[in-house]
Amino acid sequence: MRCRRVVALRATLTLACGALPLSAQGVDDGRPVYLPSPSVEILMIDRVSAGRLADERLIRRLLDDCARLMPISVANRGEASRLPPVSTWATSPPESWALEFLIFPRSGGRSHCEGDRTAVHAGVARGLQVVQGSPGETWRPVVSARLVVNGRSVDAAVATPIRLRRLSAAGLESVEDAAMRLTVPIDSLAPSVQGLMPVVSVHVRVAGDVTWHEVEVPAAALDAAWRRALPARLSYRAPRLPTDEQSIVPPPARDRYLQRARDAFMEGDYSDAARLALVRLDDDTLSVEDTRLARVIAGLSFIEQGDDLAARLVLAPAVRDEPCLALAPGRAEAAAAMLAELARPAARCRPARPLRVALQGAVLPGFGRPTSGMRRLAGVVEAAIVVSFLARSQQRLRVAEQRYDDYLAVSRLQPALEFPAYRAQRLYKDTESARRAALISFQSAIVAWGLFTAEAVVSELGWGTYYETVSRYGGAP
Amino acid sequence: MNARRALGVAVGLLVAASCVPGPFERLNPYDPNASITGRLEVLTDTVSAYLEIAEVRLITEPAFDVDALPPTWVSDQSAILTPIEGGRFQLISTPTVPTSVTVRAIYPSFTATAVIVAGRP
């Protein structure tokens, strides 16, 4: 009977815990991120995703089931009832959104979090202070922890101990502060002006060790945490005070769901517009234009809500993809200023006159590409191609001249195995073949030079047309 | 940059770069396909005394260093007048009647011919 019960519990545990697996590094689905190291193991949980993890009842059932098998005990089960329900996390004020790093010591060299760690850590994350222990196991308690962002310690990170209950071999229990919870507001891990994620690492010290152990947090995991936080941030910002500036008129979307976001934006429902746009951004099949539109709609909505940090995060990839993105003059000045901060200087975006491009390209191969970085790179490649053709031409010409000198020197007085007539003919043939190769290389250089110049003119004309659409974005109804 | 000046620079560069020469001339006389013509200028047209030397000079168009690229010298009566070196022939047998001896400078690309009279007139 007992055996059957254990089997049933194990099945329940497998089913329940298996449905909530712990992720590897860099997850994007709301699951905790597991960051192992030789001395500690860290679980990174963002509160929005923890809220999505499971409901209260499921976590409790998991804890009860796991407690009987592992054993696991809950230190403060009574307090759990006073915790806010899961649903409130996703709708709490943005200032309270935080990332939590649950830092556990390694138990006797093995992973402390093996098995049903999702359930255990979900419980810890909820403030239940779940405790896991096996009889006789030892560990080196975590005594301090700090968060380092871009090489600087974050003052806003708060470290609080977590009590772990240890079972001795004799069956006696002892409780000690062996693990650590490091909580940091997500705004402390803000992306840079260019929208790049900061370099974040958790520094941990365990008992009996004076050195700090560093565990790096993957940028992808931070990015995922931010993306999960964005939709909820919309609800808790006071709309910006209306100004008399002309609002942007986004171009129509091809995607019909994004079109709904655009309609909501045009009606001033920024919260809905951003929410819909953010949902569409998760769709990889969205066209480039629609992706840009979704980012602009979401970014402008965040700005309207006064959340510049979130706006920067959304707009930065759009500007990275199109560094010359600029709003139509006189519209949405706050957004225009932010884009100007992110974007390439206008001087490097403005297309050049075709005649100038043609002349520059004719003077120096590949030089007819003055505008953007990629085209400058293409110009360097083109110049390299032309120069390599010319260099090969010169090299073959030198070979031809050497062969011709040898040809002119052929005489019956020279000691040689070949008859002079045969040798002279062979050397002359070599001479001519090297000369022809030099000529072909030279002609290729000239043709390539001309083609590259023509292509630079055509691409500059094309860029001019495109530039009209991205430099006056949202300027016309 | 001034448009006219830029165009001038571009044309100049193209002209300067277009220095790949045309086909090289075939100027080695050992080359059977060389475009060389030549004739023998007779310096001594008659030899009569035993061991006397007759001399001819090879004139070519275009000119080249004959000493460096010597032809094969032959005589059609080598028992009378035999080639020794560099366009010089020696009378090694004096005929009783004057005899015309044809001497040649032979290259794979051309042959030059001259006549020398051997014997007393």
Other beta carbons less than 10 A from residue B22's beta carbon: 7
Q: How far apart are CA B20 and CA B6, in angstroms?
A: 24
Our CA angle for A364, A366, A369, nearest 5°, is: 110
pLDDT higher than threshold 70 for residue A387: yes
Average pLDDT over residues A417-434: 92
Contacts of A425 in chain B (CB under 8 A): 31-33
Average pLDDT, chain A: 73
Q: How confident is the model at residue A225 (pLDDT cuts 50, 70, 90)?
A: confident
A9-27, pLDDT tens digit by residue? 333 333 333 333 333 333 4
Beta-strand pair B111-118/B46-47? parallel
Average pLDDT over residues A327-356: 76
Token pair, residue A162, equals 């977590």
What is the residue range of B60's domain? 26-118
Contacts of A388 in chain B (CB under 8 A): none
Beta bridge partners of A99: A46, A184
Task: State phi, psi for A144 to the nearest 5 degrees.
Answer: -150, 155
Of A117-126, A132-141, A348-357, B102-111, the least confident? A117-126
What's the DSSP call for residue A139? B
State the first-to-last Cα distance of chain A, in angstroms, to the nearest integer: 74
3-state secondary structure of A322: coil
Average pLDDT over residues A160-182: 70
Q: How far apart are CA A204 and CA A374, in angstroms?
A: 43
User: With an 8 Å Cβ cutoff, are B28 and A393 in contact?
Assistant: no
User: With an 8 Å Cβ cutoff, are B31 and A393 in contact?
Assistant: no
Are A378 and A366 within 8 A, CB to CB?
yes
Q: Does A434 touch chain B (CB under 8 A)?
A: no
User: Cis before residue B62, ω within 30 degrees of 0?
Assistant: yes
Q: Does B2 touch chain A (CB under 8 A)?
A: no
The enclosing domain of B30 has a CATH number of 2.60.40
Does any domain span residue B50?
A: yes
Would you say how long chain A is, in residues? 477
Token pair, residue A47, equals 């509160």
Q: How far apart are CA A131 and CA A177, in angstroms?
A: 11
Average pLDDT over residues A238-265: 76
Q: How far apart are CA A53 and CA A19, in angstroms?
A: 10
Other beta carbons less than 10 A from residue A177's beta carbon: 13
User: Chain A: nearest CA to B94, how far in angstroms?
Assistant: 32
Q: How far apart are CA A359 and CA A367, in angstroms?
A: 9
Q: How far apart are CA A288 and CA A79, in angstroms?
A: 50
Q: Give the closest of B20, B33, B69 to A393, CB-based.
A: B20
User: Chain A: nearest CA to B86, how far in angstroms?
Assistant: 13
In chain B, the residue whose alpha carbon lies closest to the alpha carbon of A423 is B31
User: With an 8 Å Cβ cutoff, are A404 and B23 in contact?
Assistant: no
Which helix (H) or strand (E) segment is A200 a member of?
A: strand A200-206
pLDDT higher than threshold 70 for residue A396: yes
Are B110 and B85 within 8 A, CB to CB?
no
Q: How far apart are CA A19 and CA A192, in angstroms?
A: 36
Task: State phi, psi for A441 to the nearest 5 degrees.
Answer: -65, -40
Q: Give the closest of A359, A411, A435 to B6, CB-based.
A: A359
Best CA proximity match to A406, nearest among B60, B109, B30: B30
Q: How confident is the model at residue A399 (pLDDT cuts 50, 70, 90)?
A: very high
A74-101, pLDDT tens digit by residue? 444 444 444 344 333 334 455 456 788 8
What's the DSSP call for residue A154? -
What angle do the packed helices A117-125 and A2-19 form, to 10 degrees? 70
Cα A109 off chain centre by = 33
3-state secondary structure of A254: coil
Higher pLDDT, B6 or A117: B6
Q: How confident is the model at residue A176 (pLDDT cuts 50, 70, 90)?
A: confident
pLDDT higher than threshold 50 for residue A41: yes
Q: How far apart are CA A282 and CA B17, in angstroms?
A: 55
- Amino acid identity for residue B26 in this structure: R
Chain B segment 17-36 residues within 8 A of A by beta carbon are: 17-21, 23-24, 26-28, 30-34
Higher pLDDT, A114 or A228: A228
**C-alpha distances out from residue A351 to A292, A462, B2, B7, Å:** 21, 9, 19, 21
Average pLDDT over residues A419-424: 92
- List, in sequence order, the alpha helices (H) in A77-131: 77-80, 86-89, 117-125
Token pair, residue A229, equals 């936080």
Q: How many CB pairs under 8 A join A and B?
A: 79
Q: Does B63 touch chain A (CB under 8 A)?
A: no
What does the pLDDT read at residue A291?
A: 92
Q: How confident is the model at residue A130 (pLDDT cuts 50, 70, 90)?
A: very low
Q: How far apart are CA A474 and CA B10, in angstroms?
A: 42
Does any domain span residue B13?
A: no
Burial class (CB in 10 A: 0-12, 13-18, 19+), A405: exposed
Q: How far apart are CA A141 and CA A180, in angstroms?
A: 9
Q: How confident is the model at residue A394 (pLDDT cuts 50, 70, 90)?
A: very high
User: Chain A: nearest CA to B58, how far in angstroms?
Assistant: 16
Does any domain span residue B15?
A: no
Phi-psi region of A369 (alpha: psi -120 to 50; beta: other; left: phi over 0): beta
Place of tokens 């429902």: A269
A270-284, pLDDT tens digit by residue? 888 888 998 888 888
What does the pLDDT read at residue A429?
A: 95
Place of tokens 């709003």: A327
Q: How far apart are CA A278 and CA A316, in angstroms?
A: 14
What's the DSSP call for residue A439? H
Task: State phi, psi for A25 to the nearest 5 degrees.
Answer: -70, 145
pLDDT higher than threshold 50 for residue A4: no
Q: How far apart are CA A142 and CA A301, in angstroms?
A: 43
Higher pLDDT, A23 or A398: A398
Would you say how long chain B is, in residues? 121
What's the DSSP call for residue A346? G
What does the pLDDT read at residue B119?
A: 85
User: With an 8 Å Cβ cutoff, are B20 and A355 in contact?
Assistant: no
In chain A, the residue whose alpha carbon lies closest to the alpha carbon of B64 is A408
A299-316, pLDDT tens digit by residue? 888 888 778 888 888 888
3-state secondary structure of A65: helix
**C-alpha distances out from residue A176 to A127, A133, A143, A231, A247, Å:** 16, 12, 11, 39, 59
What does the pLDDT read at residue A171?
A: 56
Q: Does A359 touch chain B (CB under 8 A)?
A: yes
Average pLDDT over residues A141-147: 91
Token pair, residue A228, equals 């999960």
Does any domain span residue B14?
A: no
| Highest mean pLDDT: which range of A127-136, A158-167, A196-205 | A196-205
Does any domain span residue B58?
A: yes
Token pair, residue A64, equals 């009860």
Q: Give the closest of A359, A362, A421 to B30, CB-based.
A: A421
Does any domain span residue B51?
A: yes
3-state secondary structure of A130: strand
Q: How far apart are CA A9 and CA A169, in angstroms?
A: 24
Does any domain span residue B71?
A: yes
User: Chain B: nearest CA to A408, how far in angstroms?
Assistant: 5
Q: Does B59 touch chain A (CB under 8 A)?
A: no
Contacts of A404 in chain B (CB under 8 A): 24
User: With an 8 Å Cβ cutoff, are A428 and B3 in contact?
Assistant: no
Q: How confident is the model at residue A166 (pLDDT cuts 50, 70, 90)?
A: low
User: Cis before residue A252, ω within 30 degrees of 0?
Assistant: no
pLDDT under 50 in chain B at which residues?
A: none
Does any domain span residue B21?
A: no
User: With an 8 Å Cβ cutoff, are A425 and B68 in contact?
Assistant: no
User: With an 8 Å Cβ cutoff, are A362 and B72 in contact?
Assistant: no
Q: Quote the pTM value.
A: 0.54
Contacts of B111 in chain A (CB under 8 A): none
B4-31, pLDDT tens digit by residue? 666 666 666 565 556 677 789 999 999 9
Other beta carbons less than 10 A from residue B57's beta carbon: 15
3-state secondary structure of A252: coil
User: With an 8 Å Cβ cutoff, are B31 and A413 in contact?
Assistant: no
What does the pLDDT read at residue A168?
A: 57
User: In total, how many domains does chain B have?
Assistant: 1
3-state secondary structure of A381: helix
Are A133 and A71 within 8 A, CB to CB?
yes
Q: Does B70 touch chain A (CB under 8 A)?
A: yes
